[in-house]
Structure 1
Amino acid sequence: MSDLTYAYAQPSALAHQPEGDTLLLAAYAENAPASGATCFFRGQLRDSWLTARGLTTLAKVVASRFVPQSAALRDPIVTAGAGQLRFEAFSSCNGVYARLDLGPAALDGEFVQSGTTNVDFNEPMVNALSRIGRAEPVRLSVGQQAVTLERAAGHVTERKVALPERWIKGLTAAQGYLAQMDEKLRLGRTQAAQLLHSLPSGTAKGAIHLMLRGARLSFSPVGGPGAVRVGGAHRLRLLEGLLPLTQAARVYSTPDGQASAVVLELGGGHEFLLALSAEVNRGFSGEGTQLGALLDELPAEWLAGANNLFRGNETFNPTLFGLAHDLAPATVERLCASLSAMGLLGFDLSTNQYFYRRLPFKTDRILRLNPRLKNARTLLSNADDVQLVGVGSGGRTEARVRGTDAWHTVLVGGADAPRCTCQWFSSHQGQRGVCKHVLAAQLRFAA
């Protein structure tokens, strides 16, 4: 899978200037102009110390990895617009998704333009963040201002970084899980500060459950009513620096327990979200829970039309969008899945709404970032690779689908979930999306 290589004209830094300190976050958008001189926001941080704590925790997430690998530190992305900034990042292993939201109450400045961009998180800048004092005034610039360009005249520092496309896949899966989540626990200031007190030491071998017993939080190997399944719970320690500052917290989970999330309400327009995959060895980029909604391709002009309607961080309400444009619910679901597959949709648990990212509109990403769907379409190119065996009662269809080394029996349609005899299905039982054989049968024999 190819990565996008981008470069910053100068590194991010906390600059000491006569008029005060300025946090200059160097930006490079995938669709940036040739000059790279794009500025998204400039203004004052109303609580620079709290913002710095949030950004430092985000940097901690980016630098972490919970399975052995040699991935280098990656730079977060930020979406600017609608009066707010959203900083998003994954752990290097892609199993932890984090987001720092700075709402209107956290910012006092000008949004020069809306959009989504990468920001340089270099080590000196992160170290400078940790030294920002509680009452220290700091201005923020996301992107390059003219004064910055003038100072950089004649001296260009390029730091080329490969932005992995698996981040786009991770964004797709993370928002898919977030959109399914229900609030399970609401914690007050004291409970939030004590969130990790009963967490077993060391690395969690399997999933454990977070629950409230009276007013006391506890972790247990056995779940119960209202308990939240947390896979790899030791990853919650990434929040250690923010929990003492939290005014309240909310804990979420998907109905099937395949993902969980904690939202910290930090006050002053600051919120921090940490979402965990089902297990430590499962990165969000490997999930395929939305593949079924991508089977029927929508016309590219439909997707382009929807994309042209939204700016960065604007709310995307599928129901209202469908009503406004006279679209059937199934079509709206396919539209959401397609936009998400290009990395264009995020999900805000606080408002229970999707928000838009202004990434380049590239429909080829849908197949390129979903190899199971691409392989299913390849199977269909040969009529003999997907064969009908018969149709049973209730519309249940049995098919034979050619695999790499053997033929597989596939059951699709009817009231029951799809099934396949391949190793992928046997290992995951549909929890990570269906296999290419099921997708091929669904495409071939769909009613």
Structure 2
Amino acid sequence: MNDLQYKYQGISTLSKAKGINSLVMAHQTEIEEVNNIPCFFWGSLTDPYVTAKCWSIIAKVVRSSFGPIPPSLRDPIVSAGAERLRFEGFSSCNGVYVRLDMKPESIDGEFIANGTTNVDFNDPMLNALNAIQKNEKVTLAVGHQEVQVITPKTKVVEKKVTLPMRWIKGLTSVQLYLADMEMQFELTKIQTIQLFQSLPKGNVKGEFYITKRAGKFMFSTLQTPDSARIGGIHRLRLLEGVLAIVDKIYVYESSDKETCAIVCEFGKMQLLMAFSPDAYRGFSGEGKALENMSENVPVEWVYGLNSLLKSNETFDPTMLSIENDIDFGTMKNLTASLSSMGLLGYDVAERTHFYRRLPFKTERILSLNPRLKNAKKLIDNEDIEIVVRKSNYIEAKVKGSGVVHKVIIDHNSQRCTCDWFTAYQGKRGICKHILGVKMMVS
């Protein structure tokens, strides 16, 4: 899948006049009507120093890579709506996800429109952000206004930016991991600083764990029943720029103890950073998502909800079912489809999903799962034969390339004789053969 080349009609700028820093973030999307919106938000930051530090961390993440893919500039996406701003992005390797949740009390202004778009995080703007001091005043515009407080004196530059498909595929996966997490530890500022002082130097290999001994948190190579695993521990250095100003941090861990997330609390905003199981492995966007895509949901329903819901709005499937007279079972399948397409995010602190309008056309999002396409192809070609079908047991034969695979779905376990399942044992999602059988019998 090729990445998209976007063109910013202008560049993000930060200027200072009469003691007030004015920041305009240029935006660009694939959706024409959204791209024509002059401005999503216009107002001021109530804590610009902390906000600037968090934006710098986001920029650091999206310009980093911990795998074979070289680091490159990736401008983050921002969701505006429901009195909140959310900035999101991935490292180039897709192994680190970062999100800044700016609560209503962190901004003072007007939401002119709701939606999600890419914003230009260029070097001059980031350098200016790093120079912002405490108690300075900063106004913010996400997008350009026709009547601007800022009028750039320099020539407007049209900038191209590559928006990777991997990000969208990552968004379909990472929120499934987040929804599966429970809080493991809560650390004060002092405990946080002490913990990071014990962070090993260099690109350390092997598994490390956050553990608590005698009231003190530390990194250890020994796993204990209540420890939290950190894959690719050197990636934690991405957080070093905000440790001095954080109020506290929360450590979350998935039920399979493979993935973790750290939430930095600043009072008016939260910075979340989630880490894939290992540095060489990213949030692929297909693995976990495929478990929830066995039900075929009419695309018209997806379009309908997309027009009904606003960016950052809390997604409550029960209330949506009642208010719109949708069957609960249908809503469950629809929710799974929305999650699998990256249209739902997850807030680990509030333990709720929120709706995310992506800067992509819906048909493009629907095309990002080749394993799903291949599973449908197996069904269309009649390559699946159900041998045994009972209430809690299914056995099937699936034609492959010169071989017939055996698929068994027994209660909550599932297995296949194909090379994919043998290699990964379900850790990177179900294979197309299991998926095809599940879709056929659902």
TM over 0.5: yes
1:386, 1:401 within 8 Å by CA — same for their partners in 2? yes
Q: Which stretch has the larger CA shift, 273-282 or 293-302?
A: 293-302
Aligned to 2:318: 319
1:246, 1:265 within 8 Å by CA — same for their partners in 2? yes
Alignment of 1:398-413 (within 5 A): 398-404=395-401, 406-412=403-409
Q: CA 1:426–1:50 in structure 2 vs 1: closer, same or farther (change >3 Å)?
A: same
What is the TM-score of this pair, normalised by structure 2? 0.93
For 1:208 and 1:22, the matched residues in 2 are separated by 43
What is the TM-score of this pair, normalised by structure 1? 0.92
1:379 alignment partner AA: L
Identify which of 385, 388, 406 aligns with 1:387.
385
For 2:322 and 2:12, the matched residues in 1 are separated by 44
1:250, 1:262 within 8 Å by CA — same for their partners in 2? yes
For 2:336 and 2:34, the matched residues in 1 are separated by 31
For 1:286 and 1:30, the matched residues in 2 are separated by 20
2:405, 2:416 within 8 Å by CA — same for their partners in 1? yes
Structure 1 residue matching 2:241: 3-state secondary structure: coil
Aligned to 1:54: 54
Q: CA 1:195–1:189 in structure 2 vs 1: closer, same or farther (change >3 Å)?
A: same
- After TM superposition, give the deviation of residue 326 of structure 1 in Å: 5.2
Aligned to 1:275: 274
Q: CA 1:38–1:342 in structure 2 vs 1: closer, same or farther (change >3 Å)?
A: farther
Q: What is the root-mean-square deviation of aligned Cα atoms in Å?
A: 2.3
1:437 alignment partner AA: H
Aligned to 1:211: 211
For 1:64 and 1:319, the matched residues in 2 are separated by 39
Aligned to 2:119: 119
- After TM superposition, give the deviation of residue 131 of structure 1 in Å: 0.8
For 1:34 and 1:106, the matched residues in 2 are separated by 25
Aligned to 2:339: 340
Aligned to 1:423: 419
Percent identity over paired residues: 47
Aligned to 1:21: 21
Q: Does 1:432 align with 2:433?
A: no
Q: Which stretch has the larger CA shift, 282-291 or 83-92?
A: 282-291
1:79, 1:312 within 8 Å by CA — same for their partners in 2? yes
Alignment of 1:290-329 (within 5 A): 290-325=289-324, 327=326, 329=328
2:262 alignment partner AA: V
For 2:157 and 2:362, the matched residues in 1 are separated by 33
1:82, 1:314 within 8 Å by CA — same for their partners in 2? yes
1:293, 1:333 within 8 Å by CA — same for their partners in 2? no
Structure 2 residue matching 1:244: 3-state secondary structure: coil
- After TM superposition, give the deviation of residue 329 of structure 1 in Å: 4.8
Structure 2 residue matching 1:306: 3-state secondary structure: helix
- After TM superposition, give the deviation of residue 5 of structure 1 in Å: 2.2
For 1:190 and 1:134, the matched residues in 2 are separated by 21
Structure 2 residue matching 1:177: 3-state secondary structure: helix
Identify which of 436, 442, 445 aligns with 2:438.
442
Structure 2 residue matching 1:196: 3-state secondary structure: helix
1:408 alignment partner AA: H
For 1:154 and 1:37, the matched residues in 2 are separated by 23
1:341, 1:366 within 8 Å by CA — same for their partners in 2? no
- After TM superposition, give the deviation of residue 316 of structure 1 in Å: 0.4
Q: CA 1:365–1:214 in structure 2 vs 1: closer, same or farther (change >3 Å)?
A: farther
For 2:56 and 2:309, the matched residues in 1 are separated by 30
For 1:365 and 1:87, the matched residues in 2 are separated by 22
- After TM superposition, give the deviation of residue 394 of structure 1 in Å: 6.2
For 1:71 and 1:235, the matched residues in 2 are separated by 14
For 1:238 and 1:64, the matched residues in 2 are separated by 9
For 1:318 and 1:207, the matched residues in 2 are separated by 38
Aligned to 1:232: 232
For residues 284-323 of structure 1, give each alpha carbon's deviation from its aligned partner in whole angstroms, at most 9, with x where no partner exists.
Answer: 1344212132112112332223222211111002233334
Instruction: Give the paired residue count.
Output: 442
For 1:306 and 1:403, the matched residues in 2 are separated by 37
Q: Does 1:262 align with 2:262?
A: yes
Structure 1 residue matching 2:16: 3-state secondary structure: strand
1:342, 1:365 within 8 Å by CA — same for their partners in 2? no
- After TM superposition, give the deviation of residue 34 of structure 1 in Å: 8.9
1:32, 1:38 within 8 Å by CA — same for their partners in 2? no
Unaligned runs of 5+ in 1: none
For residues 399-436 of structure 1, give each alpha carbon's deviation from its aligned partner in whole angstroms, at most 9, with x where no partner exists.
Answer: 22223453322112x31411011221112211221000
Structure 2 residue matching 1:132: 3-state secondary structure: coil
- After TM superposition, give the deviation of residue 358 of structure 1 in Å: 2.1
For 1:178 and 1:435, the matched residues in 2 are separated by 22
1:61, 1:91 within 8 Å by CA — same for their partners in 2? yes
1:299 alignment partner AA: P
- After TM superposition, give the deviation of residue 35 of structure 1 in Å: 7.2
